[in-house]
């Protein structure tokens, strides 16, 4: 019988009233033993699998290896992409700012790295490795390639820093491409095209921004999602997020 029940003898004739100092069982506080059993203690919510494990700056070996690998692969992509510029030379003769229409590809290693690893510095490291290696392999822009690498990687980092590295959606991927384009435009405006009028310079910025949003932001985001859907990124936050969803 529960301790909350009233004893039958308390209701019968001649029942002894409880003394002033005694405890009325009908008003006693339930003991800990009367609490429901089998209830699991509450636990703090586990971090989202879509985010890198904290602390954010604690890169795992696999994070560093993949970031470096992305930089190396894109260094060779950059060498080939530099030759693509010759294909649009006729258009540049008519509309010089159109040189910026291909710029977004230069920002891809930064975006791909941060979307997969999701740690501060991944974008900058991948972009810088790609730039340094491209220069070492004979890239046509020399040491300026390294300067561009810092600016482009920094622009992508800034986009995700605004979210404290917690949002990796398509709009923020596009923002990363746009910010990288804006920083690169400032550098190129005064280093490569100082003789241009401001009308042409603003036209170059427009081409840069659109290319950064599309060729970097959209293309890079869908590239990482496609890789994640194969299961190849299972060790990384991108694989845990998009790989699981694609199999559902």
Taking only the tens place, the pLDDT of each residue in 143-186 is 999 999 999 999 999 999 999 999 999 999 999 999 999 999 99
| pLDDT of 22 above 50 | no
12 part of a folded domain: no
Instruction: Give the C-alpha distances (Å, rounded to integers) separating 75 from 6, 107, 182, 196.
Output: 83, 11, 22, 29
pLDDT at site 47: 55
pLDDT of residue 16: 44
Alpha-carbon torsion (195, 81, 212, 91), positive or negative: positive
Q: What is the mean pLDDT of the chain?
A: 83
Element (H, E) at 122: helix 122-136
pLDDT greater than 90 at residue 35: no
pLDDT band at 217; cut points 50, 70, 90: very high
Cα dihedral 85, 207, 186, 197, rounded to 10, equals 90
Range of the domain at 182: 61-247
Please report whether residue 33 resides in a domain: no
How many folded domains does the chain comprise? 1
Residue 56 is predicted with a pLDDT of 74
To 10 degrees, the CA torsion angle through 127, 128, 133, 135? 100
Domain assignment present for 54: no
Residue 208: pLDDT band (50, 70, 90) is: very high
pTM equals 0.78
Residue that has been written with the tokens 């659109």 in this structure: 210
Nearest to 178 by CA among 192, 162, 197, 199: 162
Mean pLDDT of 131-136: 95
Distances (CA, A) of 77 to 80, 189, 194: 5, 24, 28
Which CATH number fits the domain that encloses residue 147? 1.10.1760
In a domain, 224, yes or no: yes
Give the 3-state secondary structure of 173-217: HHHHHHHHHHHHHHHHHHHCCCCCCHHHHHHHHHHHHHHHHHHHH
**What is the pLDDT at residue 214?**
98
pLDDT digits (tens, 9 = 90+) for 52-75: 776 777 889 999 999 999 999 999
Quick check: 32 pLDDT over 60? no
Span 220-224, average pLDDT: 97
| Tokens read off for 133 | 């290696």
In a domain, 44, yes or no: no
Give 26: exposed, middle or buried? Use CB within 10 Å, 0-12, 13-18, 19+. exposed
Give every CB contact of residue 122 below 8 A, 6+ residues apart in sequence: 59, 63, 67, 113, 114, 116
Least confident of 17-26, 63-72, 158-167, 190-199: 17-26
Task: Report the C-alpha gap between 7 and 4 in whole angstroms.
Answer: 9
Higher pLDDT, 213 or 89: 213
Task: Quote the tokens at residue 16.
Answer: 């002894």
Q: Is residue 19 part of a domain?
A: no
Tokens of 94: 């008519």
Rounded distance between C-alpha atoms, residue 215 and residue 86, angstroms: 18
Cα–Cα nearest to 115, from 21, 237, 6: 237
């Amino acid at each position: 019988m529960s301790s909350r029940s009233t004893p039958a003898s308390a209701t019968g004739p001649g029942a002894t009233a409880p003394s002033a100092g005694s405890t009325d069982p009908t008003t006693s506080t339930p003991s800990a033993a009367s609490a429901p059993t089998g209830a699991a203690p509450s636990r703090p919510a586990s971090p989202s699998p879509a985010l890198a494990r904290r602390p954010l700056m604690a890169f795992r070996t696999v994070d560093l290896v993949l970031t470096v690998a992305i930089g190396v692969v894109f260094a060779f992509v950059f060498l080939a992409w530099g030759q693509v510029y010759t294909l649009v030379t006729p258009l540049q003769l008519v509309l010089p700012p159109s040189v910026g229409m291909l710029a977004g590809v230069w920002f891809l290693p930064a975006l791909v790295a941060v979307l997969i690893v999701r740690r501060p510095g991944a974008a900058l490291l991948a972009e810088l490795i790609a730039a340094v290696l491209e220069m070492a392999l004979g890239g046509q822009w020399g040491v300026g390639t390294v300067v561009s690498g810092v600016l482009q990687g920094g622009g992508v980092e800034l986009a995700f820093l605004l979210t404290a590295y917690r949002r990796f959606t398509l709009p923020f991927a596009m923002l990363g491409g746009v910010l990288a384009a804006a920083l690169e435009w400032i550098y190129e405006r005064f280093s490569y095209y100082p003789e241009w009028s401001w009308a042409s310079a603003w036209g170059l910025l427009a081409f840069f921004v659109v290319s950064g949003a599309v060729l970097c932001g959209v293309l890079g985001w869908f590239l990482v999602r496609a890789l994640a859907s194969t299961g190849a990124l299972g060790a990384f936050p991108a694989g845990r997020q998009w790989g699981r969803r694609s199999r559902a």
